[in-house]
Amino acid sequence: MRTLRSLAHGLGSALSAPRLALALWAWSALLTLPVAAPIWRVWRDRTADAPRADALIDGFNLATFRELTRFDVAWPWSPAVATLGGVVLLAVVGQALVAGGTLAVLVPGERGPFLRRFLAGAGEYFWRFLRVFLLAVAAAGLTLAAVMLAFAPISAVAGDSAWEPGWYLVQAALVVSLGVVAFFWLIAVDYARIRMALERDRRSALAALARGAATVLRHPLRTFGIWIAGGVLVALAAGAYDVLGGWTAGALVLMIAAQQVVMLVRAGIRVAVVGAEIHASRQLMAGVAEGGAGPANAGPSL
């Protein structure tokens, strides 16, 4: 029930701050354009004068596209891949700015115009939030490596087993475990940043990340539950777009517009998730203040 209350609070936060969702959508669109341009150029050059490309009108087919590009001397996607490297670097730096601006808008504090609060938060929290993220990437890498090492002997035994499905089950368990670990650190970053914003904490990024990870460990159902609910909503939005399938060349503009609507909805869901996490963080911090900070008083919660 407490998770549902946090989700309801997060949805209310998203509805009360529509400009924040627009800002997140604009940022994601800005990151997409440098990669989309070379991809579109490759697509145009390979399909404009090829009658066989008509088969792609009803939907992308990898086998057909590989057939259209198999005689290329150079790999046609090289410009897109080269651009993608720069976009990834920009995204790593930019996510700290966006997170700071988002929390400055959602966490009650200084009042003023939306853009001023967003930019002020982006500048105030940038370096601390970036350090938290980089530390989480390092911790996630070590944890993921440990999980893979732990599964290696199990995979070897399953591979030698006479029961064929055993190997596939072990691989499925490995994928799930890696996903859980990756999401654990993403969620821990969120709670570390939220605590820093709520408490105006200027202590080390490592201590903040440790507190964020401890929050997720002590309350896995609530912290993961908020993200799972957000993922379900994103999947529903994407599913609604797929239901409208059957796009033709004449409906290309409408298809792009529909894609951007889905991206905007996804940005709004992200705002709702952060709002729910802020609500959950406030309740968890209040619970610790009332019941004491000892682990015995902080069991898993819904």
The pLDDT tens digits for 14-48 are: 998 899 999 999 888 887 776 666 666 666 665 55
pLDDT at 50 over 60: no
* pLDDT at residue 49 in the model: 60
Residue 35 placed within a domain: yes
User: Is residue 173 one of the residues assigned to a domain?
Assistant: yes
The answer to whether residue 47 is domain-embedded is: no
Strongest mean pLDDT among 36-40, 42-46, 173-177, 260-264: 173-177
Q: Which of 27-31, 236-240, 262-266 has the highest mean pLDDT?
A: 262-266
Residue 296 pLDDT grade (very low, low, confident, very high; cuts 50, 70, 90): very low
Tens-place pLDDT, residues 203-234: 788 999 999 999 999 999 999 999 999 999 88
| Inter-helix orientation angle 165-199/114-160, to 10° | 160
Is the pLDDT assigned to residue 51 strictly greater than 60? no
The pTM of the full predicted model, rounded to 2 decimals, is 0.79
Has residue 45 been placed in a domain?
no
Q: Assess contact for 60 and 48: CB atoms under 8 A.
A: no
Res. 58 pLDDT band, cuts 50 70 90: low
Q: Does pLDDT of 97 surpass 60?
A: yes
Tokens for 249? 């060349």
State yes or no: pLDDT of 149 exceeds 60: yes
What is the C-alpha to C-alpha distance for residues 129 and 205, in angstroms, rounded to an integer?
A: 8
Confidence (pLDDT) at 299: 46
With vertex at residue 237, the alpha carbon angle to CA 178 and CA 108, rounded to the nearest 5 degrees, is: 80
Please give the pLDDT value at position 63: 59
pLDDT for 201 equals 73
Supply the pLDDT for residue 276. Answer: 94
Q: Looking at the domain assignment, is residue 57 inside a domain?
A: no
pLDDT at residue 300 in the model: 47
Distance of alpha carbon 114 from alpha carbon 17, whole angstroms: 9
Q: Count of domains in the chain?
A: 1
pLDDT number for residue 286: 82
Provide, rounded to the nearest whole percent, the portion of the chain with pLDDT above 90. 40
pLDDT at 142 over 90: yes
Domain carrying residue 257: 2-39+78-286
Residue 96 sits at the vertex; the CA angle it makes with 262 and 40, to the nearest 5 degrees, is 45
The answer as to whether 155 is a domain residue is yes
Q: Mean pLDDT score of the chain, rounded to an integer?
A: 80
Q: Is residue 62 part of a domain?
A: no
- Give the Cα separation of 199 and 249 in Å (integer): 53
Q: CB atoms < 10 A from the CB of 293, how many?
A: 8
Mean pLDDT of 160-179: 90
Q: Is residue 70 part of a domain?
A: no
